[in-house]
Chain A
Amino acid sequence: MTNLLLLPILIPLLTAIALMLLHKRIEMQRIVSVLSLIGTVIATSILLAKVKTDGIQTLNLGSWEAPYGITLVSDMLSVLLVLTATVITLFVIMFSFHSIGRDRETFYYYPIVQFLLVGINGAFTTGDIFNLFVFFEVMLMSSYVLLVLGGTKIQLRESIKYILVNIISSALFVIAVGFLYSVVGTLNMAQISERIAESNQPGIITVIAMLFLVVFGLKGAIFPLYFWLPGSYYAPPAPILALFGALLTKVGVYSILRTYSLFFYHETGFTHSVLMILSLLTIIVGVIGAIAYWDLKKIIIYNVIVAVGVILFGVSVNSSTSIEGSIFYVLHDMVIKAALFLLIGIMIKITGTSNLKQMRGLIKQFPLLAWTFFIAALSLAGIPPLSGFIGKLLIVQGGFEEGNYIGAGIILLSSLLVLYSVMKIFMNGFFGKPTEYKADHIPVGKLLIPSIALVTVAVLYGFNAELIYPYISDATETIVNPDMYIEAVLRGE
């Protein structure tokens, strides 16, 4: 079935349209969204198996030959990201049943989440630079609505800032595409790569590479462009925050990884060292924020920034070991960030505050929540058998192999501070003099199920690294050999 790689985009899209028609019937909406997400997970798993056996899958929409039409490309990296994004959305939707509230549910919450997934899956799968822009906009518009849905003062205020930043970055994206089109005369990513290789990357291409770094850096929150993220992500409720923190920035990171490995790999001296410096500064800013705050949301939000820096450091080192590490780490980080946001969401619901100084002794009343959080925290920091370990190990190893001791050292040190920041939550929130919290009206058990499921996924991911490794190494192979990608798109094998 050649249309298989369209299904992760098509199923959520059709579901979203269907859900808009039954927006008054909440039970139906819940059932339909969960069923369609399970269907998407199954379709993506089949696609994963197909990519594993048959190599990169491409689909020319409307049967126009590759450079002239829009091509969708599923290599191993994109299909792994699509699978991870869909699994996370499934669990977050299950979490929202008991936490998002009826008002939001009747105002198109479920359809908009599906549209968000359409944008994300499309951005991971497309092989056309302008189509990437369009899928970015699909994703961003859904995120605007999700951010402001509910209409409290803080949401309105922060949405204005978030939308303004993203309008500017979208305009810059259009400008960058315009420049790139005037230089290479094509929009197909494989053909762009081929033509840049033919012209041997003149200076103007390096300028465009920097412009793309600014555009995707604004989406992915790298060092000087992260300023919008802590405020904006503070506003929405926990499940929406989990979707944003796990998925949105990672699309920017994926786009940097894709463009810097497919387009701009000829003159790596300048572009990749700029990326390296920025990623290290991102890590430093992130850990400073993570240890500075006494607020649950802020601590995890700054950990999102740290992870973006770690992943991009692996990309900037640009050896196959470090790219492997980045791919391992990005998948782990998406899952664990979603899990952590859901867990602190439960904590905030129980205590009624996100201020760490006003909560203590939760472990007596909620031991399961406490120990799940403990495992998630260790996993985030990268304690060996858990999921964050192998990715960071490979990134650090790649850094040492290329003689970049300072960068690798900063990453190791950052792990320590990340561990400190989440252990601060654990020690202050869960230990101490027990307080009686009235939690009868909060379905803690039901909220815990999807969170525990996500942590379980993360733990299994860590323990089965050996099993997952062949998939990651396939993904790395197409990233470090752009020729494989070009061959698959332009010559159909």
Chain B
Amino acid sequence: MEILMSIVIGILFMSAVYLMLSKSLLRIIIGTGLLSHGAHLLLITMGGLKDGAAPLLGEHAKDYVDPLPQALILTAIVISFGVTSFFLVLAYRAYQEIGTDNMDQMRGTEGND
């Protein structure tokens, strides 16, 4: 199971890197979304994917799954939500002000003369 997950995560990282190397700003943001999906899936995979009950004591099971990675992912998810929403609004503002979403046209040469 872990091997399968690792391959899937690898594909996610690959797509994320490919998208982030493109010129359009929105594709880059989609890439960051895929990158954080990959990172979160990696956290849960690295915590182990053994069988067990959901981490609720009411389940009265013999084995539970590791609760720690789930808490870490929950934290990482809300953080990446916050950053992504900020990034999207920033992209919107940049489109309004600069008038392009092409990263090639967002160059600057200040301090270079």
| Residues A115-154 near B (CB distance < 8 A) | 130, 133-134, 137, 141, 144-145, 148, 151, 153-154
Q: In the bound complex, how far is the Cα of B98 from the Cα of A377, in angstroms?
A: 38
Known interface pairs A157-B106, A160-B106, A171-B39. Does A298 touch B111 (Cβ–Cβ under 8 Å)?
A: yes
Residue from the list A145, A156, A178 in contact with B98, Cβ < 8 A: A156
Given contacts A167-B35, A168-B35, contact A174 B113 (CB under 8 A): no
Question: Do B90 and A163 touch (CB < 8 A)?
Answer: yes
Question: Which residues of chain B are within 8 angstroms of A234 by Cβ–Cβ distance?
Answer: 108, 110-111
Interface residues of B, dominant DSSP? helix
| Residues on the B chain within 8 Å of A294, using CB | 113
Given A163-B87, A164-B32, residue A137 in contact with residue B79 (CB < 8 A): yes
State whether the Cβ of A182 lies closer than 8 Å to any Cβ in chain B. yes
Is A317's beta carbon under 8 Å from chain B?
Answer: no
Chain A residue numbers with a CB within 8 Å of B86 are 141, 144-145, 163
Interface string of A409-446 (1 = CB under 8 A from B): 00000000000000000000000000000000000000
Number of A-B contacts (CB under 8 A): 107
Taking a contact as CB atoms under 8 Å apart, the answer to whether A177 and B35 are in contact is no
Chain A residues, Cβ within 8 Å of B43 = 174, 177-178, 181
Please pick, from A153, A167, A171, the residue contacting B87 in the complex, using a CB distance under 8 A: A167
Check B28 for interface membership: any CB of A closer than 8 A. yes
- Interface residue ranges of B61-87 to A (CB < 8 Å): 68-69, 72, 75-76, 79-80, 82-83, 86-87
* Chain B residues closer than 8 Å to A159, beta-carbon distance: 90
A160-B72 Cα distance, complex, nearest whole Å = 27
Our pick among A145, A153, A160, A355 for the contact of B113 (Cβ within 8 Å) is: A355
Report A224-260 CB contacts with B as 1/0, cut-off 8 Å: 0000000100100000000000000000000000000
In Å, the complex CA distance between A145 and B82 comes to 12
Asked whether A158 is an interface residue with its Cβ less than 8 Å from the other chain, the reply is yes
Q: Are B97 and A151 in contact (CB under 8 A)?
A: yes
The minimal Cβ–Cβ distance linking B67 to chain A, given in whole angstroms, is: 12
Check if A130 sits within 8 Å of B79, measured CB to CB.
Answer: no
Q: Does A354 contact B (CB under 8 A)?
A: yes
Contact of A175 with B by CB under 8 A: yes
Cross-interface CB contact of B20 among A137, A164, A170, cutoff 8 Å:
A164
**Provided the pairs A156-B98, A160-B106 are in contact, do residues A181 and B32 lie with their beta carbons within 8 angstroms?**
no
How far is B98's CA from A153's CA once the two chains are assembled, in angstroms? 7
Say yes or no for A179: interface residue by CB 8 A criterion.
Answer: yes
Most buried by B among A130, A141, A178: A178
- Measured CB to CB, the nearest residue on chain B to A148 is B90
Q: What per-residue 1/0 map shows which CB atoms of B5-43 lie under 8 Å from chain A?
A: 000000000000000100001001000100110111011
Rounded to whole angstroms, the CA-CA distance of A231 and B106 in the bound complex is 12
**How many Å from the CB of A210 to the closest CB on chain B?**
17
Check if B90 sits within 8 Å of A160, measured CB to CB: yes
B111 touches A182 (CB 8 A): no
Docked pose: A144 CA to B25 CA in angstroms: 17
**Is there a chain B Cβ closer than 8 Å to A297's Cβ?**
yes
B47 within 8 A of A: yes
Pick from B39, B40, B68, B94: contact of A160, CB under 8 Å: B94
29 A-B residue pairings within 8 Å (CB atoms) = A141-B86, A144-B83, A148-B90, A154-B108, A156-B90, A156-B98, A157-B94, A157-B108, A160-B25, A160-B94, A161-B106, A163-B86, A163-B87, A167-B83, A168-B20, A170-B79, A174-B36, A174-B76, A175-B42, A177-B43, A177-B72, A178-B45, A181-B47, A181-B72, A182-B47, A234-B108, A234-B111, A298-B111, A355-B111
A-B pairs, 7 with minimum CB distance: A295-B111, A182-B46, A178-B46, A174-B39, A298-B111, A178-B43, A156-B94
Chain B interface (Cβ within 8 Å of chain A)?
20, 25, 28, 32, 35-36, 38-40, 42-43, 45-48, 68-69, 72, 75-76, 79-80, 82-83, 86-87, 90-91, 93-94, 97-98, 106, 108, 110-113
